[in-house]
């Protein structure tokens, strides 16, 4: 039995195929709103909301290099996304492009990249006239960011092939998938259990949602004291659903001290309802530098960053950590002319232990002073 941790995902879409929408900005915005609504609906079943917090349409020129090579496009976009992070608060960014990638690739995203500065994003081809087609691909790539691997043959029992199958299938087509498999839920549970997704627990500013305010969307906006959402999405952690059908949005607050968020891993702490708000308080976790994984790693931003975890993120399940070269990366990797330096995938993430009292920081080893 899995416990999927209720969470919030502040989300931004970045759109590039302006000409695909006949250079009509309003048509482009309407299409993206429809795609976003599909993605949000897919993830509600996992107790995850995906509000669209920003929309950027590149009308003049692309802000990163977009080619038929998906790997190069992904890393170029993720580098650009780091600059976006400094001017627009968000948790994850997805690129939707009209460029067709080589082979059969229609999307790509780093495994377990959610919330990290370097890897929280993905690229998607706008391959279908139907909005649900692009939404299924985007939900799939976000799934990789959440640590979900491709479904194997026996995973998807939630939907037949005629019903579209499951979102994390290695290959999809019409009819497009709408549900996540048992295996995907297991992968997500494991990701949260080890401290992934720490950025998702804090409530974003709902007044900045693309599309404006809407009663019944589950988000408390200006002019609303409470919004419990639709009947199938009563996920607000510190309130009960309306007690009377005649007062559909009269939410009742839970008692102060009620646990509303369990610890997500060794570096996380529980949160409790305040009795004054329908939302769970902001997420808190152990201090950076706290020991975890039996002394083999340190906590950083609520996650226990182990070498094994990052090996899995880079190479996928079934691979093991090899001989360590502390805080060093791969010796050779390629880049294209004009693209600039790509991040070395062999370098550990900031906060990873690489010696007693030492952690990797900005891809270099430093002495981390403080109490451990």
Mean pLDDT, the chain, integer:
77
Q: Of the candidates 201, 216, 251, which is a domain's last residue?
A: 201
Judgement on whether residues 263 and 342 belong to the same structural domain of the protein: no
Give the per-residue pLDDT at 89.
85
Judgement on whether residues 149 and 20 belong to the same structural domain of the protein: yes
φ/ψ (deg, to 5) at 360? -75, 135
Q: Of the candidates 244, 262, 285, which is a domain's last residue?
A: 285
Judgement on whether residues 192 and 253 belong to the same structural domain of the protein: no
Judgement on whether residues 309 and 263 belong to the same structural domain of the protein: no
Say if 214 falls within a structural domain.
no
Say if 208 falls within a structural domain.
no
Give the per-residue pLDDT at 119.
92
Judgement on whether residues 85 and 124 belong to the same structural domain of the protein: yes
Expressed as residue numbers, the domain containing 278 is 236-285
User: Which residue pairs, CB below 8 angstroms and at least 24 apart, start in 275-278?
Assistant: 275/238, 277/238, 277/253, 278/220, 278/226, 278/228, 278/236, 278/237, 278/238, 278/239, 278/251, 278/253
Task: With a cut of 70, say whether residue 336 has pLDDT above it.
Answer: no
- Report the binding-site residues: 140, 144, 150
Task: With a cut of 60, say whether residue 324 has pLDDT above it.
Answer: no
- Report the binding-site residues for Zn(2+): 140, 144, 150
Give the per-residue pLDDT at 339.
45
Q: Of the candidates 285, 309, 342, which is a domain's last residue?
A: 285
Section 69-87 average pLDDT:
93
Say if 278 falls within a structural domain.
yes
Task: With a cut of 60, say whether residue 234 has pLDDT above it.
Answer: no
Question: Picking from 32-41, 132-141, 162-171, 344-353, which range would have the lowest pLDDT averaged per residue?
Answer: 344-353
20: CATH? 3.40.390.10
Section 311-338 average pLDDT:
52
Residues 22-65: pLDDT tens digits? 567 888 888 888 999 999 999 988 988 888 888 888 888 888 99
Section 249-263 average pLDDT:
80
- Could you tell me whether strands 303-304 and 297-300 are parallel, antiparallel, or unpaired per DSSP bridges? antiparallel
> Taking the model in full, what pTM does it have?
0.70
- Residue 329: which pLDDT band, with cuts at 50, 70 and 90? very low
Judgement on whether residues 80 and 185 belong to the same structural domain of the protein: yes
Estimate the crossing angle of helix 131-145 against helix 25-44, to 10 degrees: 50
- Residue 213: which pLDDT band, with cuts at 50, 70 and 90? low
- Write out the catalytic residue numbers: 141
Say if 219 falls within a structural domain.
no
Judgement on whether residues 311 and 279 belong to the same structural domain of the protein: no
Say if 1 falls within a structural domain.
no
Say if 303 falls within a structural domain.
yes
What's the structural domain count of the chain? 3
Residues 94-113: pLDDT tens digits? 999 989 999 999 999 999 99
């Amino acid at each position: 039995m899995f416990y999927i941790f209720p969470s919030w995902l502040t989300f931004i879409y970045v759109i590039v195929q302006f000409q695909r929408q006949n250079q009509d900005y309003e048509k482009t915005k309407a299409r993206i709103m429809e795609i976003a609504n599909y993605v949000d609906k897919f993830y509600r079943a996992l107790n995850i909301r995906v509000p669209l917090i920003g929309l950027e349409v590149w009308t003049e020129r692309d802000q990163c290099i977009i080619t038929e090579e998906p790997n190069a496009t992904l890393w170029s976009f993720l580098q650009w996304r780091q600059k976006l992070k400094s001017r627009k608060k968000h948790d994850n960014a997805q690129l939707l492009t009209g460029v067709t990638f080589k082979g059969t690739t229609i999307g790509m995203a780093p495994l377990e990249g959610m919330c990290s500065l370097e890897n929280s994003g993905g690229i998607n081809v706008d391959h279908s006239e139907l909005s649900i087609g692009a939404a299924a691909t985007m939900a799939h790539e976000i799934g990789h960011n959440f640590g979900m691997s491709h479904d194997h043959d026996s995973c998807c029992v939630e939907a037949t092939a005629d019903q579209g199958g499951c979102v994390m299938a290695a290959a999809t087509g019409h009819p497009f998938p709408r549900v996540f498999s048992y295996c995907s839920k297991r992968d997500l549970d494991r990701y949260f259990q080890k401290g992934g997704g720490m950025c998702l627990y804090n409530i974003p500013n709902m007044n900045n949602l693309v599309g404006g305010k809407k009663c019944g969307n589950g988000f408390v906006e200006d002019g609303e004291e409470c919004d419990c959402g639709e009947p199938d999405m009563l996920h607000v952690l510190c309130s009960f659903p309306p007690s009377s059908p005649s007062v559909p949005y009269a939410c009742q607050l839970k008692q102060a001290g009620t646990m509303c968020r369990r610890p997500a891993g060794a570096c996380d702490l529980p949160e409790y309802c305040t009795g004054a708000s329908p939302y769970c308080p902001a997420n808190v976790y152990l201090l950076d530098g706290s020991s975890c994984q039996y002394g083999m790693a340190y906590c950083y931003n609520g996650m226990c960053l182990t070498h094994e975890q990052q090996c899995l993120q880079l190479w996928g399940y079934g691979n093991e950590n090899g001989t360590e070269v502390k805080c060093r990366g791969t010796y050779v990797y390629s880049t294209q002319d004009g693209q600039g330096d790509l991040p070395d995938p062999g370098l550990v993430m900031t906060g990873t232990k690489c010696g007693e009292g030492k952690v990797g920081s900005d891809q270099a080893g430093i002495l981390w002073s403080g109490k451990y």
